[in-house]
Structure 1
Amino acid sequence: MLLVPLSLKSIIGGGIEDKRWTSVLDSLRGVPELGRPSNVPFNLTVTYLVPGEVYVPKFSGIRIGSFLADFRSLVVQVALPRHPEKDAREELLDLLDEAIARAEAWGKRKKLLSGPLEEARRAAFELREVRPD
């Protein structure tokens, strides 16, 4: 079994949210290889924040959340707009690529990385190849 140091999570705003976001997130999280810690400088968790009636993120775009040193795990938060501008799947995957780039920059600044997060990039690329049924 392939070990992939990339996890996808979401926080849903509650009430009425755009189901295009949530249905794509459900399909992406269903990939069994994701989220298996491996021997890398750090594992990456990308958390998508989906705005709804109850909760709306207080920021826009992508930011570094927290680094859990004991677990060698970095959380990157992605605040989604209320609605996708185009294909929700493509937008989420584009934002995943940006989140990985942000994590790489953070890792280099903190001297935890000397190169790219190859396994995370490979997993993100493979997610583009896997189409839901």
Structure 2
Amino acid sequence: MYNILKSHKPEELNLERFWELESLGVDSNTTDVETVDYMETNQKSAIEFRENKYIAKLPWKPDHEPLPTNFFVTKRRTENVIRKLSQDPEMLKVYGQIIKDQERRGFIEKVKDPDISKGIVHYIPHHPVKKK
């Protein structure tokens, strides 16, 4: 058994650069006052307490194009999740209980009328996170 340790020069493997915001397309050195004002105002108006629970809107960037309708993509993802979970009946049962509990508590809701011709609707697909 061998253990190999290879040293890289900082310019070859720059982990600091990897973790910088700029590598994600965010420039932390510039501050757009309008964007900051918008985000502060949006944050204050996006969260409300109603019927014993907090309701939060999704954050939106100003001047961002609307998200596309993704009904069919989300439906396919859901079908794939169910197909994978079907291979583990106990996990499928637990997942089903979690979904029912989240629906009962008002965290999620069923799509009653998936008629996408009524306009743009963007769904947030759900997927399980399994603890080991």
Superposition TM-score, scaled by structure 1 size: 0.24
Superposition TM-score, scaled by structure 2 size: 0.24
Bigger relative CO (Cα 8 Å, ≥ 6 apart) = 1
More helix by share: 2
